[in-house]
Amino acid sequence: MNNLKVFLLMAGLTALVGAAGGALGGQSGMMIALLFAAGMNVFMYWNSASMVLRSYRAQVVDRSQAPELYEMVDRLRQRAGLPMPTVAIAPHDQPNAFATGRSPEHAVVCVTSGLVKLMDREELEGVIAHELAHIKNRDMLLQTITATMAGAISSLAQIAQWGMLFGGGRDDEERGSPAAALVMIIVAPIAAMLIQFAISRQREFKADAVGAEIHGRAGGLARALRKLDAYAQRIPMDVAPAVAPLAQVNPLAAHGGGLSSLFSTHPSTEERVARLTALG
């Protein structure tokens, strides 16, 4: 099922890239954009995790650099029956976490420095167990490709906007339709965001449930989610909107307004806590 989701996701986002190329350069522009998308999909399969870590300015750490955190991840991943993931820390005061990578054998669990400082041990374990659940559920590739492709589509929309401004002097067959370019500028980023929205909610609910099983209790994660949500409202995080859905709670909540709040890819914290509480 996850492989099917990845295939459908890549197909849909590739179609959006092709539409951007068509808006900019007609049929030839569409072919160039589709070739570009194919290369991008291959590149992101192998490199998207490192791109996400760079977006969060995260640094990989080993056992000697962060012994308590490393041992905690190691202990919980054994309970989950997973290989040891790479551990990373992002230098953000806002407490948050995410998992990325193309497979359990190439997975990364990243926490912010604020998470380590502001969570107690049981809460931190709950957060890490949630991220290990994403790895166990094999949905990191799906969410990572979603985030990176959404960012690429937003960039192409901006290119199309400039193309409309400075693309005169050629006929529509070469340049593409200005009306199509205008539609693409408006629709493509929203469509990419809605794809993220569609897959993220159930993914988070499932990771909460599996994370509680890995941890052995639901209370730590439930308390952590309340704290994460409260701190996200007060402590801003400087991170690209395209990779924000990877985090355990919306890291851009403090920014308020805009499309990031209108099309939130995260289910409400209240509903997540209620489901965890029902698990006992």
Task: Give catalytic residues, as residue numbers.
Answer: 131
Closest CA to 103 of 76, 83, 80: 83
Give the Cα separation of 244 and 56 in Å (integer): 9
Residue 97's H or E segment, with its range, is strand 97-101
Can you say how many angstroms the Cα of residue 58 is from the centroid of all Cα atoms in its chain?
14
What's the longest Cα–Cα distance across the chain?
67
DSSP tally for the chain: helices H, then strands E:
10, 4
3-state SS of the chain: helix, strand, coil percent to 5?
Answer: 70, 5, 20
Q: At what angle do helices 219-234 and 121-136 cross, to 10 degrees?
A: 100
Secondary structure (3-state) at 123: helix
